[in-house]
Amino acid sequence: MLVYISMKLLKHIYFRILIFGVLSMVLAGCFTYTAQKKFNKALYQTPYDAIIVPGVPLENGMWSPTMKARVYWSVYLYQKGIAKNIIFSGSAVYTAYTEAKVMALYAEQLGVPKENIYTENKAEHSTENLFYSYKLSQNLGFTNVALTTDPFQSKVLEKFAYKYDLPVDFLPVVFPILDSIPKIDPDIDESKAFVENFVSIEERESAWKRFAGTRGKNIRHDFYNDNTTSTKQ
């Protein structure tokens, strides 16, 4: 009887894992199709004055696969002439390194000229990455702007852009193209992005306030409203 119950339970677990795997593959396929479609459409609207790239924390002095993907994709878009400039966005949120500056340092090492890289250093949530970078792009005189990130985050931020009436296009990562790009791990001087007396957002804000931030509830509308621009890399 015990063996029968165990076998029945194993079959149930296996079935759920199988269904989850199939659904994941279907979703991945849908995201890839949508990303490719947006990329093809963008080719007729380019070049963009700038692309916005949301930040990712530096982890133990190394860039994560997520950061690597976003940086390499933005560099690819620049090198293909799809974007004239890149705006990396992100403050020192979970680690003592300003995310935008770290990503900018990697992009420079990968061949993007310093004069075509900008950083937005105030955003602490993805919604702020988009909102603040768009406001910064206006101050810089950029009119044709797109945001690029992974397909899932791109979909979430599209809804936010629609809500706030932000005229920003979206260029999610096309992973088959990204996978075909030869990659290296360049050395950077991360000390240039280090923040003294850093305090993690997890110590500064409650979980509820951080959740509100992911929904765009903590946005400071006075940021970038005085025609000041962020530091060029």
What is the Cβ-side half-sphere exposure of residue 215, based on CA atoms within 13 angstroms?
7
Mean pLDDT score, 43-49: 80
Please check the confidence at residue 75 and state whether its pLDDT lies above 70.
yes
Contact between 63 and 51 under an 8 Å Cβ cutoff? The reply is no
Sheet strands (E) in 47-116: 50-54, 86-89
Contact between 173 and 76 under an 8 Å Cβ cutoff? The reply is no
**C-alpha distances in Å from residue 162, one per residue of 56, 129, 130, 168:** 24, 15, 12, 9
**C-alpha distances in Å from residue 219, one per residue of 209, 212, 222:** 12, 10, 9
Contact between 73 and 54 under an 8 Å Cβ cutoff? The reply is no
The residues with which 119 forms a beta bridge, in sequence order, are 88
In terms of pTM, does the model score above 0.85?
no
Report the candidate in 147, 121, 125, 94 with the shortest Cα–Cα distance to residue 212: 125
Pairing of strands 145-147, 50-54: parallel
Percent of the chain residues past pLDDT 70, beyond the cut: 81
Please check the confidence at residue 69 and state whether its pLDDT lies above 50.
yes
Contact between 100 and 119 under an 8 Å Cβ cutoff? The reply is yes
* Tens digits of residue pLDDT in 169-204: 999 999 999 999 999 999 999 999 999 999 999 999
Contact between 182 and 80 under an 8 Å Cβ cutoff? The reply is no
Q: In order of start, what are the domains of the chain with their CATH numbers?
A: 45-214 (3.40.50.620)
Please check the confidence at residue 46 and state whether its pLDDT lies above 80.
no
- Token pair in block for residue 138: 């206006």
Contact between 56 and 90 under an 8 Å Cβ cutoff? The reply is yes
Mean pLDDT score, 206-226: 83
The residues with which 194 forms a beta bridge, in sequence order, are 97
Please check the confidence at residue 9 and state whether its pLDDT lies above 90.
no
